[in-house]
Amino acid sequence: MTERHAHRSSSNAFPCCAESEDDMSFLPVGSIAARRFTWAEARRTLVIPIAGIVCAASVWVGISAHAAPPDNDSFYDPPAALADITNGQIIRQRDTTIAQGGIPIPGLRGTQLLYKTTDSAGRPIATATTILIPPDVRPGAPLLSYQFFVNGLDASCNPSRQLTGGMVMTFPNDLASALARGWVVAVPDFGGPSVAINAYRLSGQAVLDGIRAAESAENVRLSGPRTDVVLMGSSGGGYGSLTAAELQPTYAPELSIRGVAAAEPPTDFEKVLRNLDGAPFFGNAVIMLLELVREYPQIDLRQFLNPEGVSMYNELQGTCLLEDLARFAFHRISDYSSVPDLYSEPTISTMLAENRLGQQRPAIPVYLEQGVLDEVVPPGQSAQLADRYCSMGAVVRQVTSFRGDHNTTGILWSNDAMNYLQNRLDGQAPPTSCHP
């Protein structure tokens, strides 16, 4: 089988969006590809219940339903002796019902794990991962760690809340495709309880410790550290996937991670924030900044804000509604700051620089895609990151696509990314865009 690249036309991951069911076929679990796994089989097990919801809602959506608020769900409470627990160790575990848009998905088993990890400063924290287990999962199945992007500042925005009753703020066709292949899927709250998904060290460590926790869960039927693992995410989820890939060689070298696929990751936050200034998605810049500063308790962002900025800062701390972002369209950071250039303030500039991607070489094959019409992350950032990885000696397949804008690319890249990851699980030699 040849590598299928993102610039080629491919079927969507759902039958409602495919040209024909004959176009839809997947390889089975792991590296032993004895037969094709067709959509006729997938439909009888799992995918159609998910697909009917997804095809109606494969767009950015606001969260209108929440799971139990954090202060009402003791599952998330860290133990008193948290510092004495090993990173990746399960603190507690529970079975859960996986729901899409508040509608339970039949035939899909869910397990949630609270586990120990550390934040950007090395302080112990507890966060959760949600494990999605397909019907008739095979022992030794591969694991996909899927990183959701989160546009919100409240813990109820985290995937563990939204996968069990809220409206998921991402493109769940990725999950259905993985489950149809027989993969187990782990969806970590990689921003931790502070939802700081754009913090380099926190996000990478939380992803890797979530994999450790999933591999040790007794009822998931994985193979411990021998489990073949792949990473995937788009936008902020792509960022979290890549931070994990960069940190893995030194932080979790025992994990058998075979590849990572990331679409449109924000690689340089200062450039992203400046790109969004005065743009329709300026609200995303606000959320990015407020998320990140939470990992820097020594920085009081309010000292740089005018009264309107302080009001905005306070108002958004507990929000989990994308609708709130629309009212910031075409605004500028100067509308809310009391300094001439907030992003040039030494403490802010240093914070942004400390969380850039490209700090370490991934030891696993990397798939990077970005569209030429990306209006959130400046076009070319992924290509620049690929060049940096190549210069470090990494193996990178970089694709500049013409699928559409940021959201559209985040939907349509899925099938090609999944095929790339499947080929890594099958032991095929990874393609590279790096020049000798």
Task: Write the DSSP string, 302-371.
Answer: GGGB-HHHHHHHHHHTT---THHHHTTTT--GGGTBSSS-GGGSHHHHHHHHHT-S-SS--SS-EEEEEE
Please state, in angstroms and rounded to a whole number, the distance separating the CA atoms of residues 64 and 272. Answer: 28
Please state, in angstroms and rounded to a whole number, the distance separating the CA atoms of residues 103 and 172. Answer: 14
Residue 36 CA to its chain's centroid (Å): 28
- What CATH superfamily classification does 21-267+356-425 receive? Alpha/Beta hydrolase fold, catalytic domain (3.40.50.1820)
Nearest residue to 381 via CA among 252, 246, 235: 235
436 residues of the chain, pLDDT tens digit each: 333 333 333 333 333 333 332 332 322 222 222 223 332 333 333 433 333 333 323 333 333 333 344 458 999 999 999 999 999 999 999 999 988 777 788 888 999 999 999 999 999 999 999 999 998 898 899 999 999 988 789 898 899 998 887 654 544 688 889 999 999 999 999 999 999 999 999 999 999 999 999 999 988 989 999 999 999 999 999 999 999 999 999 999 999 999 999 999 999 999 999 999 999 999 999 999 999 999 999 999 999 999 999 999 999 988 876 666 788 999 999 999 999 999 999 999 999 999 999 999 999 999 999 999 999 999 999 999 999 999 999 999 999 999 999 989 998 999 999 999 999 999 999 999 998 7
Give this prediction's pTM.
Answer: 0.85
Nearest residue to 262 via CA among 242, 282, 284: 242
Fold for 276-354, please state it: 434 Repressor (Amino-terminal Domain) (1.10.260)
The neighbouring-strand residues paired with 109 are 97, 133
Task: Tell me where in the chain the CATH 3.40.50.1820 domain(s) lie.
Answer: 21-267+356-425
| Residue 194 near residue 294 (C-beta atoms within 8 A) | yes
pLDDT tens digit sequence for 397-424: 999 999 999 989 998 999 999 999 999 9
Task: Tell me where in the chain the CATH 1.10.260.130 domain(s) lie.
Answer: 276-354
Task: Write the DSSP string, 301-320.
Answer: GGGGB-HHHHHHHHHHTT--
Length of the chain, in residues = 436
pLDDT tens digit sequence for 339-368: 999 999 999 999 999 999 999 999 999 999
Alpha helix positions (H), 93-199:
159-162, 173-180
